[in-house]
Structure 1
Amino acid sequence: MPTYHYRCKNCDYDFTEHQSFDDAPITVCPKCGQEQVRKVFSAVPIEFKGHGFYRTDGASHSSK
């Protein structure tokens, strides 16, 4: 089940929730009760593993 990060625009309360893809997004802040909650989107880290991702991989090392 995915974890979503939310922040309230009214009181700046940050929280995360485990929700199904079918669940409606949370709009009411659990701390202040205002309908000012929005999802926070951030970059997903990418990790390249294996051969072929580095400049030195597969490069021919000719010594002339």
Structure 2
Amino acid sequence: MPTYAYACKSCGHRFDAVQSFADPALTLCPECGGELRKRYDSIGVTFNGSGFYRTDSRTAPAEGSTAASGGATEKKAAAPAAATGSD
């Protein structure tokens, strides 16, 4: 569930609230009862684990593999030639 930041327009009280996406936004300050507004501050994003960067999730292709040598394209080109020989 996401955490939303709120600030009171009257007294300036700031706090965070953990709410579901379906929950309505808070409107009353718990300190003074004044009107609240959502705060949109810059946040720090952290991606943990492997797979978020190309160098983390892939290894160098082994020598002689079909992806490195283009063997897959050679097989595709050979298949139509074999089919035309059966006239």
The two structures have a TM-score, normalised by structure 1, of 0.66
Structure 2 unaligned runs (5+)? 56-87
Structure with the higher strand share, 1 or 2: 1
1:42 is displaced (CA, Å) by 1.7
Higher helix share: 2
Structure 1 SS opposite 2:15? strand
Count of residues in correspondence between the two structures: 51
Task: Indicate how the Cα distance of structure 1 residues 41 and 10 shifts in structure 2: closer, same or farther if over 3 A, else same.
Answer: same
- Equivalence map 1:15-26=2 (5 Å): 15-26=15-26
Amino acid at match of 1:50: Y
TM alignment of 1:13-52, pairs within 5 A: 13-34=13-34, 36-46=35-45, 50-51=53-54
Runs of 4+ in 1 over 2 A off after TM superposition: 43-52
Report the RMSD for the aligned CA atoms in angstroms. Answer: 1.9
Name stretches of at least 5 consecutive residues in structure 1 with no aligned partner. 53-64
* Cα distance between partner residues in 1 of 2:46 and 2:25: 29
Bigger relative contact order, structure 1 or 2 (CA pairs below 8 A, ≥6 apart): 1
Match for residue 57 of structure 1?
none
Distance change (3 Å), C-alpha of 1:10 and 1:23:
same
Relative to structure 2, which stretch is displaced further, 17-26 or 39-48? 39-48
Distance 1:33 1:44 in 2: 27
